[in-house]
Amino acid sequence: MAVSPLEDRYKTEMNAIFEDKAKLGYWMAVEVALAHAHAKLGDIPKDAPSEIEKASKKVELSRVLEIEASTHHDLMAMVKALTEKCQGKSGAHVHLGATSYDIEDTATALQFRDAIALIRKHSLELCKVLRSLAVAHKRTVCVGRTHGQHAVPTTYGMKFALYYTEMRRNLERLDSALARISVGKMSGATGTMATFWGKGRQIQALVMAELGLQAAKVSNQVVQRDRHAEVLFVISLIGATLEKIAKEIRNLQRSEIMEVAEPFASTQVGSSTMPQKRNPHKSERICSLARVLRANVQTALENIALEHERDLSNSANERYIFAESFITCDYMLKQTASILSGLEFFPENIKRNLESSDGRVMAERVMIALAKKGMGRQDAHEIIRAASIESFRKNRPLLEVLSANKTVAKHLTRAELSKLFDYATYIGEAPQIVEEAAKE
């Protein structure tokens, strides 16, 4: 029975990157690269690396766990299991000169690189959905809302273009963080490379070249945790963007608004007691999981200030936060793309809400028109403000109130005034803004 929802409910392809078998594979890949480096420098027999590599394909996780139960040291358990499988004397050269975190932190860089690649893939898939929605709805006029109140018209294309460009920025951040996390070390217990006979920098360079990583310029026993914290921060930023999208859907799906709604299957149940409910539970789930990502950043930040050349206070929590953050974010990306791909629009409700304020959402436009006709901007603002209050209190269309205003009539004819209340013509350059954003 699964204890964590990451094992079933929120499981994605990301799980395979963080399971114990995969971690063991990353560790042994570093051990093999270390052996190759030693052989190239003449420290060990030239045939030893190939024997160690063959042995790494025979190591079973169950044997490593069996040894760990005795040694209480997971990395050393791997070293012993790998040595057992080596033919001849090649096992004597496994892990030569290295400390545990030379292997573990370098392996973590490989793991993060693969995990980031998957996050990038699913981010790009979401970007495609957002871009498509932005273009399709660049002229779908709706009421804009600020402070929860009706503001002026906008378009649904603008909403999706906003999310699209934000996700593009997240991809840029992800790529930048990838460059700084793709770093390994082979520098020994305190970073001095004392165990490598004066060849430490050569060995480190060779190992990292084989693995496609950069070498840490300076390290102690570990790769510094600011790198890992940055990645988890970027992951949480992606989560925050997804939460923004999900929260907007939740609000727009309110019964009294109901402009859009997340997909709802014909057999889906909204409530165990209220059969009529169509709850936006998938979007609510996105918002809930975003909190987990942010909380993990706090832990990652705490891990930066380790004592002296390192202590072990980062190790245990990293077994949680690394896998949890990547798997959760990956699930959220896929879920958000699914929600948006099936998003349902209700044009009649969009129109109803746009018109529900009796034209008061066009107050700004009339004010600007009066200013262009020669009235002082502040005077125009006061006239329209007072007229809007009257329109609200007397439940009369703003057009009617303004048509009866003699000051307004001096500057605008009835025909000119009526034209100003065409919602579809007051979306400014929204279509062009969307088109330009979609070109990226």
Active site residues: 147, 271
- Rounded to an integer, what distance in angstroms lies between the CA atom of residue 152 and that of residue 142? 9
- Rounded to an integer, what distance in angstroms lies between the CA atom of residue 131 and that of residue 154? 17
- Rounded to an integer, what distance in angstroms lies between the CA atom of residue 373 and that of residue 324? 60
Structure-token pair, residue 331 = 């699930």
Contact predicate 224/51, CB 8 Å: no
Contact predicate 290/239, CB 8 Å: yes
Q: Give Cα separations from 64 to 21, 51, 59, 338, 427 (angstroms).
A: 10, 19, 8, 40, 64
* DSSP-assigned states of every residue in 120-159: HHHHHHHHHHHHHHHHHTTT-EEEEEETTEEEEEEEHHHH
Taking Cα atoms as reference points, which of 258, 250, 247, 245 lies closest to residue 351?
258
Contact predicate 262/345, CB 8 Å: no
User: Count of CB atoms within 10 A of residue 52's CB?
Assistant: 27
Give Dmax over CA atoms of the chain in angstroms: 104
Q: Give Cα separations from 75 to 23, 51, 198, 215, 313 (angstroms).
A: 11, 20, 25, 21, 17
Contact predicate 45/88, CB 8 Å: no
**123 class by beta-carbon count within 10 Å (0-12 exposed, 13-18 middle, 19+ buried):** buried
- Beta bridge partners, 154, equal 142
Contact predicate 202/41, CB 8 Å: yes
Among all chains, which residue has been given the structure tokens 């013509």? 425
Number of H helices, E strands in the chain: 18, 6
* DSSP-assigned states of every residue in 6-65: GGTTT--TTHHHHSHHHHHHHHHHHHHHHHHHHHHTTSS-TTHHHHHHHHHTT--HHHHH
Taking Cα atoms as reference points, which of 403, 364, 359, 356 lies closest to residue 381?
364
